[in-house]
Structure 1
């Protein structure tokens, strides 16, 4: 192991984890101070368990092992302990073998706490730490009788082989990177179990309840009663006997045991002590509405310490609270104005104000929520937790998220993708107007703003981004009340021609196709409508037609095979009001219908059919908002229907050699930096990416020698400090055909760049082709982002790029090719020159794999990549590496 690799291995921090029954445990490395606790744990094991662990029941046989495993060693061994409260209840240990890619593993869990998933969690965390040390396989000798240990290995979800050797199995486990499905399922089960006390509590305490009607503590109690909370409610106030007719408890210390949820409305200075008292009384979850803790390290630390010590879940602080409209719960533990509109939309929001606004707007639109969690300053419960909840919540059909920051965006992407495959997820775009881009020394990094990265995450996860709360409500109405469309072909029909033009423009702007009607439908409409009607798209029935005629026309269009969705424009006149009865006309349509009612002063409201159980039709006041909402529904349907894609196995990749190259560079340059050209070429070659060879020449004579070795026309490029784009800076001289030309080129570059010129790169000329860019920017929060777009001199001027986060699937790569504004001209059937699209896709996948497997690559630019109809050539490449602390984004753990 290199010095840089060993130095990067740090002692893991204490992390909180959720057991299968929803209880909170914590895992941390063990050291010499823990020897006695480890000894107590092993002495407390039943004789059979001790025998399984050590193949002996004699203390003399296992005490020397314990002495060794609690000795710290950042390279060769690690021991992790699992704790419930202050009690050590599980130990897992690995020790690296003679082959540094292998380690022997062992674990033991207190028999009183087995079958709750702690052993599997310890193994997952141990495997993650081992991967950071270069270990690729765990090995173990397990007695055949030890069925529980064998099950722990199987439950890990990693590739496993077991070879019978007498009375034992020789177990070998491959420590694959990623997120095995088994891990995801366990996380969902445990996450839901831990959130039940928060979202389905049987009892709620309101600490800081008040008799004053204008106090938040009073509003929470009043809301609980007004919604008819089905559990018991315990107001806490030292100076009252009853509040809202409920008997008051003097302090949290006096609460009945095992209250599920406590809502804290006390002053900030009192929160840590109250949280501690709640924990001591067995409270399982807190919703801290109080603000003012985050700016005070002592108060924030005190709250977190109490939460961790007692294994509680925490919403907030500085939050609106929690709502669940399920008839079996009827929980409104917020200070929002009631009543809460019940429905099937789940909401998680960092902003309490956004939560209040959504409640008001949903109610006005005839929509309702299933549950709402306001995460506030997000110390613990976050959007990721609610994604887990909604995956198993049959009362939620659609999710809405408002997040201003991401704690674990890669975990978020995994969970959101899983949810989007079942239910639509809407998100309000935030942070769209960065005042300045990141200071960066590559084209990719300079363009990769936080908004760009977030949009890439949303796109890959199937999340529908919207610009405003109004868009949320409109889109939620379409998704809640109408079926998903089979395609993007939209027919517009109305009795107002001018609004039809606006609608048609909105369809084109939002990527919706405007098809022609079939001949059969046109003949039907000809018999129904006056001769002055227009049968083009939009269809104009004229304003004078009766409601029944208008409705017959709508029926005929809905049956047209060229139509996937219908936009109906209805203007009331003195002789007709086509919107009346329209919901009954389209009630059984398998195609979505949206209505625009001219003169409607609300954003959206339901047109309800006569049958109370029938499906409403969303009626909008603005055609643009209506069509934007329909377009999002179309995009979601397309995302749901698309192939999911896989991360393919790629030939000619040497991960170990690539990691060794990066480690060697960081050994010599601990702060990181830009690789020299030979190192860039070698690193890319390890991932099967060929770069046009060249020779770095420090002076004119070396440049001439390089020209002679090449034996043909060359390009002479400046290697100058601070020069990003050589062509734009005048640092590229093409078509140099003789030695005199080489000397002249070197002289010209020396005059142009002066002392900053470090040398020149002499490369062979390549066949002209289309110039593209492929790059990587490693975002400290989101991880590596792959960019694809137009390259060459004008790459930044044009700014036509597509982005995806790693891991990059084959489907992602194909979609990147089609996501540029220039894509039809580059890759479409009418392209001027057919390009090697399969070669570009392969190159994107290889760059994506490099970014995924080498987190030390902070920036990478391949620009230009010259592409013809037969091949691609990487003409220029730059790579910057930086030291990084490995992070496992898929490891099961709560926020720290």
Structure 2
């Protein structure tokens, strides 16, 4: 073994939990020197045909020399990744460098695991490892009749070139990610995650582990809810000390059950759950729903127990909901699954609901039932050790029975992935989210995720950018959901108000103005208005081309039921292609009187008119839906044209800086100028001036018409301190400026004087970016100066972004009128501002080593943008964005993979 092989260690992030095509989990990690026995056992299970395809000759066994060579690699020029399942090696993929930038790649997958997408996953992770090691191209030798392997390479989305040589097919392809290869990877991830969740919602059989004969126990409640909920599959009770539970035969272990088991509901003491995992793995159970508490929510000992539970479950291919969760529900009549602690089986509906807290889950189901909203499916993920909201989004995207997605989020374990998936799902189905801890960015004790370091505004911007309708409370979530579930989307912001109360009509108009809606039509019918009056007024409002939505207000006179008006509202709502909301009798939800029967007759159908106890709530809900509709109909716009960017130069510059300063560094002015220039941004030159003579020399070099300014943090951009002297044209004027500023500023030795060309007048703006450990790249924009910082008036987005996001950033800050001719001032060149935002966003997207970039002073005029100051810090990255081009399941911070 070489010295390099003895000492080299692979990066930690090369270890990954992954999801296979069938929705089961496995683990990938670099091969180790002590893997010889695992390799020999694995090779012994591989068929002769597969061995021949791998080595092009009969090779029934591996010699000791072969084993030593295969398991000992340097993780640089020789890299090997293995896939493990249940402690056994089931596949190995490797590459060996054949010349600088080029490596030969090969795979071997155990026959009974072929067809599960394993080779594609290994290729994905090997390509990412290769890119990190400076590899540009993979080559492979494949026998012509090894069609599975040829298809693996071609289906990966890379441009594969091939030729024949001595009866062997030679394949080669560059491994830089392409739109096609990323699309293939995203599609594979989507199918796998959706498949893994589908098994939880459509089990043919469920085992309740910890089922008890005592009625007041959790296990008994789970069995009772499954049976009384009319689950159409088989229910098995597992209890070591009973022969029967709730009329069902009881089995001592899951393995004793004579039939297959798809899902196990676990309600045993926390310390016994690991034994249950092993029992379920041996039985071939697909997934676990762990109701048991006593995990991360209890402290450090519980956190360690949860880590072991997650690692053990994934190592044996099981997906896990929980622990400390309420359970799962599927209201589909063909399934009727209530695998939860809730005695409430919600009515069939169009909304899928994900939450984390078990206690809150019960309250949510009660609220759903009271409102008559109806759910398609429900998941309470508890401590969310494994299955998360991201998994449910992948499932609901393809689920035809779910039309609206509801999320109650207490934490976001992988914001980058959430943003990526939510952007796609929102194009097909509205997502409504409540995020607790929004102000503090706090994480509940049981949620073993890293706290988000990005500003609150950045998280909010990520939701808006993805089209997610973020609301403040559960009540508002249901307000919006019942509108989206039963009414069409509005075409715009124009509203008609029709009612029999002038006072409520005025309240509706005020509420509309407050949330950005425009009341184009207001009809006051009077207290004695009849059903016919309402029908005429509603028909006219809906037929009005200047109306996009209608708010109906009905408060009945004394001793009047309002049933006739209700019938009118229901009939109009069913036929209208514009949304109709109401404040009818102060009712909440979808009252029986306003319902249109669903096709199955189980719940309120399309066209049912939602009612709100207060007209303001109706208007707020409508405004949220209008915002979503506008987002949906606004195209992303073109991305930045990168053809004229010199990204290779930028990467080389950053790499060189980190080679000189491995711990990270602030780039020199020269490097900052070069880095920005690679992305088409010109930074104005400034010269440091420690003395008057140096300032005068700088003025001469810059050709005069310069400014002298202090750049120290306590002086820069402070409105109460004069730290800039402009329009200096001669050495004498520079002397006057020097004397004046030195008289005004104390501690002039710390002022940081610089000389710079005098810039054309303009509005000062600031553009910045940073690399967040959870989010990845974040870009910001605002008017420059301390007031913006104090008031938090900044816009944020998560790259990659297009023209739509850049335009929105410029317009959504409160100070944006300064850019559009405020009080008669000149309108600035907004297009150039937007381009600058796109350039910075692209730079941050391309270079994760840029930990912080700041353009604190950019003057924007009517025909130009002048970047006057800039700073850039670079830091080494270990696994930042390591899941962008090699999909991996999130793990608990600090975890190591078993085995």
TM over 0.5: yes
Q: 1:180 aligns with which of 168, 179, 182?
A: 182
Q: Which residue matches 2:574?
A: 587
Q: SS state of the match for residue 431, structure 1?
A: coil
Shift of 1:514: 2.1
Closer, same or farther: CA 245–375 of 1 in aligned 2, 3 Å: same
Q: 2:890 aligns with which of 878, 890, 895?
A: 895
For the 8 Å contact 2:83–2:91, the answer to whether it is kept is yes
Q: Which residue matches 1:371?
A: 377
Distance 1:870 1:127 in 2: 45
Q: 1:195 aligns with which of 197, 200, 207?
A: 197
Q: Which residue matches 1:413?
A: 419
Closer, same or farther: CA 240–744 of 1 in aligned 2, 3 Å: farther
Distance 1:467 1:333 in 2: 29
Closer, same or farther: CA 68–19 of 1 in aligned 2, 3 Å: same
Query: Mean alpha-carbon deviation: is it higher for 293-302 or for 574-583?
Result: 574-583
Q: Does 1:678 align with 2:670?
A: yes
For the 8 Å contact 1:720–1:753, the answer to whether it is kept is no
For the 8 Å contact 1:570–1:579, the answer to whether it is kept is no
Distance 2:848 2:749 in 1: 30
Superposed, 1:151-162 pairs within 5 Å as: 151-162=151-162
Closer, same or farther: CA 745–55 of 1 in aligned 2, 3 Å: farther
Q: SS state of the match for residue 34, structure 2?
A: helix
Q: 1:205 aligns with which of 191, 204, 207?
A: 207
Q: Which residue matches 2:76?
A: 75
Q: Which residue matches 2:874?
A: 881
Shift of 1:583: 0.8
Closer, same or farther: CA 290–450 of 1 in aligned 2, 3 Å: farther
Q: SS state of the match for residue 659, structure 2?
A: helix
Closer, same or farther: CA 553–73 of 1 in aligned 2, 3 Å: same
Q: Does 1:349 align with 2:355?
A: yes
Shift of 1:217: 1.8
Distance 1:695 1:208 in 2: 75
Closer, same or farther: CA 715–212 of 1 in aligned 2, 3 Å: farther
Q: What is the CA deviation profile of residues 267-296 of structure 1, one whole-angstrom value per residue up to 9, with x for unaligned ones? A: 222222232233233322111112221132
Q: Which residue matches 1:505?
A: 510
Closer, same or farther: CA 742–347 of 1 in aligned 2, 3 Å: same
Q: SS state of the match for residue 138, structure 2?
A: strand
Q: What is the CA deviation profile of residues 14-51 of structure 1, one whole-angstrom value per residue up to 9, with x for unaligned ones? A: 32222222232221111222245445555665555444
Q: 2:409 aligns with which of 399, 403, 406?
A: 403
Closer, same or farther: CA 474–721 of 1 in aligned 2, 3 Å: closer
Q: What is the CA deviation profile of residues 481-511 of structure 1, one whole-angstrom value per residue up to 9, with x for unaligned ones? A: 1011122211111111111111111111211
Q: Which residue matches 2:858?
A: 865
For the 8 Å contact 1:156–1:182, the answer to whether it is kept is yes
Closer, same or farther: CA 405–175 of 1 in aligned 2, 3 Å: same
Q: What is the CA deviation profile of residues 541-575 of structure 1, one whole-angstrom value per residue up to 9, with x for unaligned ones? A: 22222221221111111111111111111110148
Closer, same or farther: CA 43–273 of 1 in aligned 2, 3 Å: closer
Q: What is the CA deviation profile of residues 216-267 of structure 1, one whole-angstrom value per residue up to 9, with x for unaligned ones? A: 2221111111111112212223333322211222344544464221112122
For the 8 Å contact 1:784–1:806, the answer to whether it is kept is yes
Q: Which residue matches 1:330?
A: 336
Distance 1:8 1:572 in 2: 77
Q: SS state of the match for residue 574, structure 2?
A: coil
Q: SS state of the match for residue 462, structure 1?
A: coil
Closer, same or farther: CA 346–270 of 1 in aligned 2, 3 Å: same
TM-score by length of 1: 0.89
For the 8 Å contact 1:322–1:371, the answer to whether it is kept is yes
For the 8 Å contact 2:494–2:519, the answer to whether it is kept is yes
Q: What is the CA deviation profile of residues 567-601 of structure 1, one whole-angstrom value per residue up to 9, with x for unaligned ones? A: 1111101486444532113321111100112x525
Distance 1:606 1:684 in 2: 63
Q: SS state of the match for residue 237, structure 2?
A: strand
Structure 1 runs (4+) deviating above 6 angstroms are 6-9, 59-66, 721-724, 726-729, 747-751, 828-831
Q: Does 1:567 align with 2:551?
A: yes
Shift of 1:729: 6.5
Q: SS state of the match for residue 596, structure 1?
A: strand
For the 8 Å contact 1:718–1:726, the answer to whether it is kept is no
Q: SS state of the match for residue 211, structure 1?
A: coil
Distance 1:280 1:61 in 2: 29
Question: What are the ranges of 5 or more consecutive residues in structure 2 without an aligned counterpart?
Answer: 443-451, 600-604, 892-899
TM-score by length of 2: 0.89
Query: Mean alpha-carbon deviation: is it higher for 286-295 or for 17-26?
Result: 17-26
Q: Does 1:392 align with 2:398?
A: yes
Closer, same or farther: CA 435–783 of 1 in aligned 2, 3 Å: closer
Q: Which residue matches 1:736?
A: 728
Distance 2:682 2:238 in 1: 70
Distance 1:428 1:851 in 2: 29
Distance 2:598 2:878 in 1: 58
Distance 1:644 1:65 in 2: 54
Q: 2:263 aligns with which of 252, 257, 261?
A: 261
Query: Mean alpha-carbon deviation: is it higher for 336-345 or for 360-369?
Result: 336-345
Q: Which residue matches 2:636?
A: 644
Q: SS state of the match for residue 378, structure 1?
A: coil
Q: Does 1:487 align with 2:480?
A: no
Distance 1:724 1:882 in 2: 26
Distance 2:155 2:507 in 1: 57
Q: Does 1:470 align with 2:475?
A: yes
Across the aligned residues of Structure 1 and Structure 2, the Cα RMSD in angstroms comes to 3.0
Query: Mean alpha-carbon deviation: is it higher for 344-353 or for 115-124?
Result: 344-353
Superposed, 1:435-446 pairs within 5 Å as: none
Distance 1:115 1:568 in 2: 57
Closer, same or farther: CA 729–786 of 1 in aligned 2, 3 Å: farther
Q: SS state of the match for residue 695, structure 1?
A: strand
Q: Does 1:778 align with 2:771?
A: yes
For the 8 Å contact 1:677–1:696, the answer to whether it is kept is no
Distance 1:620 1:345 in 2: 19
Q: Which residue matches 1:711?
A: 703
Q: Which residue matches 2:541?
A: 557
Distance 1:315 1:304 in 2: 10
Distance 2:75 2:732 in 1: 58
Superposed, 1:611-622 pairs within 5 Å as: 613=599, 615-622=607-614
Q: Does 1:846 align with 2:847?
A: no
Query: Mean alpha-carbon deviation: is it higher for 573-582 or for 198-207?
Result: 573-582
Shift of 1:63: 8.5
Closer, same or farther: CA 292–588 of 1 in aligned 2, 3 Å: same
For the 8 Å contact 1:772–1:864, the answer to whether it is kept is yes
Shift of 1:427: 0.3
Closer, same or farther: CA 586–372 of 1 in aligned 2, 3 Å: closer
Q: What is the CA deviation profile of residues 821-865 of structure 1, one whole-angstrom value per residue up to 9, with x for unaligned ones? A: 344563489974232222122211110011111112222221221
Q: SS state of the match for residue 584, structure 1?
A: helix
Shift of 1:731: 4.5
Distance 2:362 2:686 in 1: 62
Q: Which residue matches 1:358?
A: 364
Q: SS state of the match for residue 104, structure 1?
A: strand
Query: Mean alpha-carbon deviation: is it higher for 257-266 or for 804-813?
Result: 257-266
Q: SS state of the match for residue 888, structure 1?
A: coil
For the 8 Å contact 2:636–2:805, the answer to whether it is kept is no
For the 8 Å contact 1:287–1:315, the answer to whether it is kept is yes
